[in-house]
Amino acid sequence: MTIRPSTHPTKRRPSRTIILLLILLLAALLRFYRLDAQSFWNDEGNSARLAERSVALILKGAAGDIHPPGYYLALHAWRAVLGESEFALRSLSALCGLSIVVLVYALGRALFDAPVGLVAAFLAAVNPFQVYYSQEARMYALLALEAVAATGLLVAGLRGRRGALGGYALVAAAGLYTHYAFPFVLLAHNLLVLLWLAGEARWHLGLVRETPVSLLARWLVVQALVLLLYLPWLPTAWRQVTGWPVPRETPALLSALVEVLRLLTLGRTIPTSAAMGGLAAFAFLILLSALPEPEAADGAAPSPLPPAEGEMLTLAQVEATERAMALARRRYTLRWAVPLLLILVPVGLILGLGLYREAYQKFLLVASPFVGLLAGRGLVGGWRLASGAWVLREGGPTMAAWRAPLLLLVAFLLFDTGRSLHNLYFNPAYARADYRAIARQIEAQARPGDAILLNAPNQWEVFTYYHRQGAPVYPLPRNRPLIPERTEAELEAILQQHRRLFVLYWGDVEADPERFIESWLEAHTYKAGERWVGDVRLAVYAVPLAVANTPTTPLKARFGEAIHLEGYTLLNNPLPPGDILQLALFWRTSAPLDERYKVFVHLYDANGRIVAQTDSEPGDGLMPTTTWEVGQSIVDRYGVLLPQELPPGEYRLVIGLYRLTAPEQRLPVWQGEKRVGDALELNRVTVHRLDARE
């Protein structure tokens, strides 16, 4: 297909500078809006606490981490100027995200033209994936900025701009000091240079103005300089990358590619099934980016003057025309290869190395700006065809029928982008774990004798960012992998000193895959309930003076056909408001159970209203009824947290069981031959004021 520029007169357009400034204003609003609305999550807490250390301690801490020190050092300097608030620490990433928009415009203009640069900058400005990580106190926005900056300097250097390749070496080294995913970018750059060298280098892109040999020599010197700058950290990097355990996953290729496209274009706050219109729009625009440019556009060698009427083109003129057309095609093909390689190499390596899992999806941020470049090129090229700025052939149709479909694609794109951004700001389902709220809740319920236990030690940084005084904090396990004997000894020591525990469960798969800590606490304490805060589970436990292993009150009650309650032990009665009622139930089954049931423990006032309760599968969910053996004695402990404002008086303690899959279906309760309903009253509980205790 031959595309020629139209000879139609062009209309006066708004200043590109004004348009770019409006795009930057939009980008700034999206990145700084509600910047501190959400709490820091685990990794952000690590950034905050590392940045407050001295340079020497940051280097030491990074050497024991899985990230190099570059971002932490930058955040350390940033913090010294702006402070340590959430807004201040996140604003470094927001500024990096804003800078990406500027550099995407510059790169789009350098590779294609100014309109492509403006559209690509707009797509970067509103990109939810980039906005998300521009609002996080982590290194990923800086990493993406360095990827775009290094690519722009590479293109400028190959065009012969003095000092650009030296700047490239500095930015590339900074990228290596920022994250261990930056080698993906370096590999793409080296493949790009090899691609240029594989052809006639003096023609490629209108960039290379030297022989392939001299270009290769300069490039090798630049790469050697990058390596030299990174050499001090290289042994540490090698140890960390090769020694860190990485679970490998091999997803289905097609579904993984669709998910990758969603992440790169619409971010993580909108499900794929809800964004098919936007994804289809981006995919089509990327395909449109392969449209060839007009033959004589952007610096291509001019075609010979057309012959006068009645004259024939000479052989030399024909050859010159063919050379000019070939040059234009080569130039465009390799311009298009720049963003394409910066997408394919990171995505291909992450999928090929089995790294495509949620924890590593953020590594793909380096590719997101380049997807916007291709989509911007596709939108501009498609619109030029539709508007008649380009024509398929001289005297041919302008394809004006494309205007409506193109506008529809843009509508889908903007609609799904807006929904994703709305979820990012306002949908709690996509919010980060709220350690700020967890710390406030614990402080509101604080009493002498409390302690806080973190089942994953790397929660310590973020939790202590918010919890600066009060109950002591114990990060467990201290060994990775967990050593049961040492962890048990530490838990016993904690229980000897404290009467109540707040436990934050997070990252069980990595920190405690066998759930040793939770099982041990179930056997030695009384759990008073739990709730999810994002992906963190906050549980409360009462520490008894002595654990009940036999019933003090025997019973003969049957629930359903085979579940028998042999008795119970109520450890603390009477008790004050705000305390945890400690109850142990002793079960057995007379037949195998093929269905799971939950136990409810309710406290009723004189009017029959529930004033406190807990519901759980037996053994804090670790002993479901389907695992019970016939005749086995099951010790099942429950804590019930009483409200602080609970009035003094007597309350009825009632228990029962219901189907896990149908909570409305309670099991009938029998005492002897008499059915007593679908719940069993165990005792009366007396609540009194603290000053009434003896």
pLDDT at 5: 60
Same domain? For 342 and 474 the reply is: no
pLDDT one-digit tens code per residue, 123-156: 999 999 999 999 999 999 999 999 999 999 999 9
pLDDT at 498: 96
Which of the residues in the chain have pLDDT under 50? 200-208, 296-308, 327, 395-398, 692-694
pLDDT at 296: 43
For residue 441, give the nearest of 531, 547, 322 by alpha carbon: 531
Assign 680 to helix, strand or coil.
strand
Same domain? For 26 and 128 the reply is: yes
Residue at 288 is within a domain: yes
Measured CA distances, 21 to 27, 32, 134, 205, 469 (Å): 10, 16, 19, 29, 46
* Rounded CA separation 402/387 (Å): 8
Residue at 62 is within a domain: no
Within 532-681, residue ranges assigned H as helices are none
Q: Are 502 and 442 in contact (CB under 8 A)?
A: yes
Amino acid in position 10 = T
Structural domain span for residue 270:
4-39+86-430
Rg over CA atoms, the chain? 33
pLDDT at 162: 83
Residue at 284 is within a domain: yes
Same domain? For 368 and 416 the reply is: yes
Neighbours of 334 (CB within 10 A): 20
pLDDT at 2: 56
Domain boundary among 512, 542, 572: 542
Assign 165 to helix, strand or coil.
helix
Q: The domain spanning residue 665 has which CATH number?
A: 2.60.40.1930
In angstroms, the first-to-last Cα distance of the chain is 95
Same domain? For 34 and 159 the reply is: yes
Both tokens assigned to 66: 């899985």
Q: Where are the beta strands (DSSP E) in 431-552?
A: 450-454, 473-475, 500-505, 526-533, 536-542
Q: Are 502 and 641 in contact (CB under 8 A)?
A: no
Residue at 426 is within a domain: yes
Amino acid in position 429 = A
pLDDT at 399: 54
Computed from CA positions of residues 268, 273, 274, 279, in that sequence, does the dihedral angle turn out positive or negative? positive
Assign 369 to helix, strand or coil.
helix
Amino acid in position 147 = A
Amino acid in position 439 = A
DSSP β-ladder status, 450-454 and 473-475? parallel
Same domain? For 195 and 234 the reply is: yes
Q: Are 366 and 184 in contact (CB under 8 A)?
A: yes
* Rounded CA separation 494/620 (Å): 20
pLDDT at 316: 60
Same domain? For 416 and 470 the reply is: no
pLDDT at 198: 73
Amino acid in position 201 = A
Domain boundary among 477, 512, 542: 542
Same domain? For 635 and 487 the reply is: no
Place of tokens 């521009």: 134
Work out how many domains the chain is built from and give that number: 3
Q: The domain spanning residue 498 has which CATH number?
A: 3.30.110
DSSP β-ladder status, 680-687 and 473-475? unpaired
Same domain? For 491 and 347 the reply is: no
Same domain? For 26 and 164 the reply is: yes
Residue at 77 is within a domain: no
Residue at 405 is within a domain: yes
pLDDT at 404: 81
Residue at 328 is within a domain: yes
Computed from CA positions of residues 54, 56, 59, 60, in that sequence, does the dihedral angle turn out positive or negative? negative
Same domain? For 115 and 231 the reply is: yes
Domain boundary among 481, 510, 542: 542
Residue at 661 is within a domain: yes
- H or E element in which residue 566 lies: strand 563-570
pLDDT one-digit tens code per residue, 253-312: 888 899 999 999 999 999 999 999 999 999 999 998 887 766 544 444 444 444 445 555
Same domain? For 373 and 454 the reply is: no
Same domain? For 463 and 503 the reply is: yes
DSSP character at residue 620: T
